[in-house]
Amino acid sequence: MKATISIQRYNPETDSEPRWVDYHVPMQSGSTVMECLNYIYDNEDSTLAFRQGCRFNSCGLCALMVNNKPQMACAAKLRDQVKIAPLKGMNVIRDLVVDRTAYFNMLRELQLYIPEQEKTSIPAKIIEPQNRVELLQCVECLACNSTCEKFIKGGEMFAGPYLFVKLAQLHLDPRNDIDRKSQAVKLGLDKCVDCGKCRCINGINIQKLAIELLRIN
């Protein structure tokens, strides 16, 4: 049995706008979108650009849009008449590959990590709250940003849900001594308070675990 797959192709160096290209690929029970992309690359078109990493829903590299819904290509089951596109709201490098550079530059600029500390200042035993454990299910796929209407529209400074998840992780880290709530406010947290439309592929409740947590009371 073969499935018809439509993939959005775009090379900003040669194309004036994205275009849809159809492929016909073998489909077996349990086939994934990632297997489909690899089949196309190996057998039909080696110019197709996409990312892959662990193939086990852990690295976040293969996130893309499947029928207009963000999913991990390694976990999404292949169906007939599927439309595959890059994540929404992000600059496309080529085909299904989006530019993640700006986000990880921001991680450094905002010091979104725990700075090195003197060994004497580190607690002998660190107990993590349960809500931080849940937030750490984030695999940095950036797909939550593609479900955020305010982020896609762009405009004034707005970090998007991914960075708010990072800030919430740090806020709950016992070793953190930086005001993460103030950082969140500067990055546009107020736009998220009454929204709740963003979604996480791995099921993190972003509104409850990150947005509500970071609000300054």
Question: HSE (CB half, 13 Å, CA atoms) of 206?
Answer: 27
pLDDT in tens, 12-70: 999 999 999 999 999 888 899 999 999 999 999 999 999 999 888 889 999 999 999 99
Fold: same for 2-98 and 101-214: no
Residues whose CB is less than 8 angstroms from the CB of residue 178 and which lie 6 or more positions away in sequence, other chains included? 111, 115, 170
Identify the DSSP state of 205.
-
pLDDT in tens, 69-79: 999 999 999 99
Q: For residues 112 and 98, what is the distance between their CA atoms, to the nearest angstrom? A: 22
- Fold observed for domain 2-98: Ubiquitin-like (UB roll) (3.10.20)
Please give the model's pTM, rounded to 2 decimal places. Answer: 0.87
* In the chain, domain spans: 2-98, 101-214
DSSP string, 149-187: HHHHH--S----HHHHHHHHHHHT-TT--S-HHHHHHHT
Per CATH, is 101-214 categorized as 1.10.1060.10? yes
Tokens of 163: 């960075």
